[in-house]
Amino acid sequence: MNAQWGVVIVAAGKGTRMRTAESKQYLTLRDKPILVHTLELFQSMDETAAIALVVGQADIGRCKEWVAQYGLTKVTAIVQGGSERQHSVHLGLKALPSHLQWVMVHDGVRPLVTQQAVRACCTAAMKGEDQGAAVIAVPVKDTIKQVNDSGVIVATPDRRSLWAIQTPQAFRRDLLTRAHETAEADRFLGTDDAMVVERLNVPVVVAEGEYTNIKITTPDDLPYAEFLLGMRESVQVSDKIRIELKGEVSQ
Ligand SMILES: Nc1ccn([C@@H]2O[C@H](COP(=O)(O)OP(=O)(O)OP(=O)(O)O)[C@@H](O)[C@H]2O)c(=O)n1
Ligand SMILES: C[C@](O)(CO)[C@H](O)COP(=O)(O)O
């Protein structure tokens, strides 16, 4: 993963399914806003050259303050988003420095993404050098049913072919730009960036990610995210103690 990446973090949604007065990306998880957790992960990676942060017009001011407060030096642009996620991604893409040839798109409300998962996605995108498109995903664990408007099952797709798609999603920049321009001209709206690329008949590779990379969407996701963060911290503490003890024993 030698390339330098531009990262679009989309955070201009209203979070209607969360049903809180404050948009979910600004709610506090442990000690800081969900969006700051997400930004810090990408800030921490050597591969990240620049971050374009896409937020609502009214939130640009506080995001500027957080960029200074949390030392998020790789955030090179904070831009106003659009009415749909896809519009927000397109606006962020245009705000990245023009020399960057590889781009990732990530939801601001997936704060538990890890460096390993990001790298897996980028590596998969760069493997197919000609095409350059990959997403991170996990195999579904449940049996999935297609249900009609009357609540009756109409199909049971083979689970072995079903994956729950997450972000980041990684692309050659010229491919993603073309895909978004084409979608805009055709008035096509998709729920992720892979969809706009798929309709150009370009293969999008799936790299296996982590079940813990949840998208904070509904109220029950918040205590679960707190729990996962707590687990991660206690693993880090016990790893640190193990290393320190090992050092003492070998002295
Ligand atoms: N017009 C929009 C809509 C969504 N997003 C961002 O896209 C990500 C994933 O979207 P989702 O979880 O659906 O967020 P919301 O649209 O905010 O939630 P809801 O659908 O419940 O209103 C979020 O980080 C969200 O802020 C965005 O940047 N611009
Ligand atoms: C991009 C995404 O996070 C992949 O799971 C998801 O599609 C966003 O969808 P939403 O409709 O904005 O929740």
Tens of pLDDT, residue by residue over 145-192, are 999 999 999 999 999 999 999 999 999 999 999 999 999 999 999 999
Q: Percent of the chain, pLDDT > 70? A: 98
Residues 116 and 137: their CA atoms lie apart, in Å, by 13
The ligand with the least distance to the CA atom of 108 is 1
User: How far apart (Å, rounded) are the C-alpha atoms in residues 249 and 240?
Assistant: 14
Nearest ligand to residue 79 Cα = 1
Beta bridge partner(s), residue 135? 169, 206
φ, ψ of residue 174 to 5 degrees: the values are -65, -35
In angstroms, rounded to a whole number, what is the distance separating the alpha carbons of residues 195 and 133?
A: 11
The ligand minimizing its distance to the Cα of 17 is 1
Can you tell me the ipTM of this complex? 0.98
pTM of the model: 0.95
| Torsion angle defined by CA atoms of residues 177, 212, 115 and 29, in that order, rounded to the nearest 10 degrees | 90
Q: Is it the case that residue 248 has pLDDT exceeding 80?
A: no
Q: Is the CB of 16 under 6 A from ligand 1?
A: yes
Q: pLDDT digit string (tens) for 8-18?
A: 999 999 999 99
SS3 for 48? strand
Average pLDDT rounded to a whole number, residues 103-112: 98
- 92 close to ligand 1 (CB < 6 Angstrom): no
Q: How confident is the model over 203-228, as a mean pLDDT?
A: 97
Quick: pLDDT tens for 16-57.
Answer: 999 999 999 999 999 999 999 999 999 999 999 999 999 999
- Between the CA of 130 and the centroid of ligand 1 the distance, in Å, is 31
**Which residue has the least CA distance to atom 10 on ligand 2?**
191
Q: 85 in ligand 2 pocket by Cβ < 6 Å? A: yes
